[in-house]
Amino acid sequence: MTQAKKHNKTKYLFVTGGVLSSLGKGIASSSIAFLLKQRGYSVSILKLDPYINIDPGTMSPTQHGEVYVTDDGAETDLDLGHYERFIDESLSQKNNLTAGRVYYDVIKKERKGQYLGKTVQVVPHITNEIKNRMKSLDGEKDFVLIEIGGTVGDIESLPFLEAQRQMNYELGQGNYLNIHLTYVPYIASAKELKTKPTQHSVRQLMQYGIKPDVLLCRSEHTLLKDIRDKIALFCNVDEDAVFEARDVDTIYEVPLFFARKRLTETILDKLGIKAKEINLDTWTKFVKRIKNPKYTVKIALVGKYTKYEDSYKSIAEAFIHAGSINNTKVELDMINSEDILDAKTAKQTLSEYDGVLIAPGFGSRGIEGKLHSIKYIRENKIPFFGICLGMQCAVIEFARNVCGLKQANSSEFEKNDQNVIDLMADQVDVEDKGGTMRLGAYPCVLEEGTNAFAAYGTAEISERHRHRYEVSNQFREKLQSKGMKLAGLSPDGNLVEIVEIEDHPWFVGVQFHPELKSRAVTGHPLFIDFVKAVLKNKKQNEAE
């Protein structure tokens, strides 16, 4: 039996998942972290992913959802977006680790002879590397939540679970808890909930030497006491530590649901910590506005990865935040840019929307559809928001149809003498695609009198980037002479960060990714202002 060790300042909460993937470990971890922070504790969250990619930077969004970028330029799993949105703190390279990164670092050490001729093995070398990352915030926070990706039973997760088992032993009782998220399906034909998948999942976890202390049972139905008692009995878990994790209307309601079930009180009690008071008034009002908004607007997101909604997860969440702040429900529809073939289909597709966002992305596929969309939006005075590639497409469309540069394009798609978008100078000789873009937070200076300046309310901002191409300085004067404002520049004036068009309800394109800094409750200035402009324009159109 694990013996109690000396008191550890940092308490560790390990979150694993069983039965099936995509149960919501990220939301559960974020919610628990948020509730602990609201009680006055300092928290952080780590995501450990078992795939062999060093990071998700080279993965298609349709494979793994969006790539989330931190201030320090880490390309990470999208769950870090949930973490930041819930706990309202910026995370870093420390907060995401993949199996690929672990093996890569261990192999580099082996090549340098740092293991002194020893045979390098999964145990202890790989597991030690994982544990070192698990302990990277030790002593800095009151609580560190560690979410282990994948599903218990997956072969690739085994080194991470073995590291968790070792950490349990090394930390000792009272310094950690194991939280396991499972699924309790409802069989309609039998009209009953089935606990067997949860039992098998816990049994599998215990075969790895890990005993769950708390069970979160995801289900579409209420788990009555007799079901929870049965799960507790067969899973060797205290009856008061079996919690239902029922489906709710919005992910931002999950912390309130867990609070009503007194989840964090149970966690703290098991760690021998007296729970501090908690105030959820602001969050409760935020959720109420999401669920019961006064207004509604329809916004189209035109992109090329629309078959998988997680490709634009942060954008969708930013609209929820901005909608709540504007007391407005944003009905966001994903439109595949490849389906917009010409001016006619652009009109047919977009005429019913109150606003349009042209999404980020890479490559030439679907670009002409974005350009047709932007032309229709610009000419018909529909509020427009372009992000990264969306902003670059706005510049290309303006150059072609307003400036008379009929061959205007990006050198990413076609190299010619009218590349209004071109490769950054320091990217010309880059061959490795992973982690070599302009990544992370960079400063930007705003021009007074612009929509961007009005939205931020300040002259200097910092936003996160992920791109290789920029507006070509060769064409800046031409663009400006025809009415395109360079509303935001890098501090040295060399890079265009924001473009706007005058005589338009709201037409803003940004080179960076503002969605990555949108937080629950407070939102992001540009998304808030865009939704506000969309609502105002809709009211004016209805009044005419």
Active site residue ranges: 388, 513, 515
Phi and psi for 442 in degrees, rounded to 5?
Answer: -135, 150
Cα–Cα distance between 116 and 327 in angstroms, integer?
Answer: 63
**Are 106 and 92 within 8 A, CB to CB?**
no
Give the residues across from 355 on adjacent strands. Answer: 299
Q: Which residues contact 141 (CB under 8 A, 6 or more apart)?
A: 10, 42, 43, 44
Q: Which residues contact 223 (CB under 8 A, 6 or more apart)?
A: 184, 193, 217, 231, 242, 244, 246
**Are 250 and 287 within 8 A, CB to CB?**
yes
Residues 212, 131, 204, CA angle at the centre, nearest 5°? 30
> Which residue from 377, 294, 295 is spatially nearest to 335, judged by alpha carbons?
377
- Both tokens of 85, joined, read 């949105």
C-alpha distances in Å from residue 175, one per residue of 5, 10, 263, 378:
8, 7, 17, 58
H helices of 59-98, in order, are 61-64, 79-87
Specify the pairing of strand 409-410 against strand 419-423: parallel
In 163-208, which ranges are E strands? 176-183, 186-187, 192-193
> Which residue from 266, 168, 165, 271 is spatially nearest to 215, judged by alpha carbons?
266
Amino acid letter, 121: Q
Amino acid letter, 204: Q
Per DSSP, the chain holds a count of helices (H) and strands (E) of 18, 23
Cα–Cα distance between 267 and 438 in angstroms, integer?
Answer: 41
> Which residue from 98, 80, 79 is spatially nearest to 89, judged by alpha carbons?
80
